[in-house]
């Protein structure tokens, strides 16, 4: 969508999720977020957008974006989004949460309004309070794996941040899906405890296989995020 089309489209929205890549996908292809000087009070009005971006030192760094944000990267440029939470907050501290496996972020600004456009080749998960839903479970499992692998870097926080900023979003998603599925396939108790989640991940792998995106030997998170 062109800049003016995006601004016109978002007149009636605080945030908008772009269509899923297929009906049974756990997530969406994109997220549009409109931050305005004056809230519309007709819907959820985000005031801030918080997510991990790759900084000028090629490291993953948490950033909170406002209407006008003094970023280290030019606001007109496409910014690389690193894996992690995406958090929207309004003026009353109400929040809406997502999880992204990586992607790109662009911004369109006019006086009194900035629309941020987050796109990804991997599903963008909308996280709710339904801890048993597939998006929530997948986000939770992924965050736990990231934390577990971060420990292996010891005190080398910069090294881990640099590695996290390097990973390709789709490869990171494939690695996560493969790693979580392997855990479930090796543990029947996990399958029986969360059958819908297990079947949903298997269905996602099947869809990726039909599209030729599932490799014969999928990458593993241990490989992507391992210390050098």
Question: pLDDT tens digits, residue range 139-190?
Answer: 999 999 999 999 999 999 999 999 999 999 999 999 999 999 999 999 999 9
The answer to whether 29 and 16 are in contact (CB under 8 A) is no
Distance between CA 91 and CA 151 in Å, rounded?
35
Name the residue ranges covered by the structural domains of the chain.
3-127, 134-224
157 to each of 81, 142, 199, how far by Cα in Å? 18, 19, 36
Q: Which residues of 173-209 are buried (b: 16+ CB within 10 A; e: fewer)?
A: bbbbbbbbbeebeeeeeeeeebeebbebbeebbebbe
Question: pLDDT tens digits, residue range 111-147?
Answer: 899 999 999 999 999 999 888 899 999 999 999 999 9
Cβ-based burial of 12 (10 A; exposed 0-12, middle 13-18, buried ≥19): exposed
This prediction has a pTM of 0.93
The answer to whether 54 and 48 are in contact (CB under 8 A) is no
């Amino acid at each position: 969508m062109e800049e003016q089309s995006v601004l016109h489209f978002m007149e009636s929205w605080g945030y908008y999720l772009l269509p899923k890549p297929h009906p049974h996908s756990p997530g969406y292809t994109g997220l549009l977020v409109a931050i305005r000087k004056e809230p519309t009070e007709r819907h959820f009005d985000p005031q801030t957008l918080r997510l991990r971006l790759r900084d000028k030192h090629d490291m993953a760094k948490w950033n909170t974006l406002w209407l006008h944000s003094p970023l280290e990267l030019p606001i007109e440029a496409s910014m690389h989004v690193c894996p992690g939470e995406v958090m929207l907050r309004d003026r009353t501290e109400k929040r809406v949460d997502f999880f992204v496996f990586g992607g790109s972020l662009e911004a369109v600004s006019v006086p009194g309004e900035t629309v941020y456009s987050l796109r990804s080749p991997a599903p963008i998960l909308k996280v709710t309070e339904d801890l048993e839903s597939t998006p929530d479970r997948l986000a939770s499992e992924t965050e736990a794996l990231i934390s577990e692998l971060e420990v292996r870097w010891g005190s080398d926080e910069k090294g881990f941040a640099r590695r996290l900023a390097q990973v390709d979003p789709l490869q990171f998603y494939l690695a996560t899906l493969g790693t979580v599925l392997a855990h479930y396939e090796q543990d029947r108790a996990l399958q029986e405890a969360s059958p819908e989640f297990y079947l949903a991940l298997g269905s996602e792998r099947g869809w990726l296989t039909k599209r030729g995106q599932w490799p014969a030997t999928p990458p593993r998170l241990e490989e992507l995020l391992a210390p050098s």
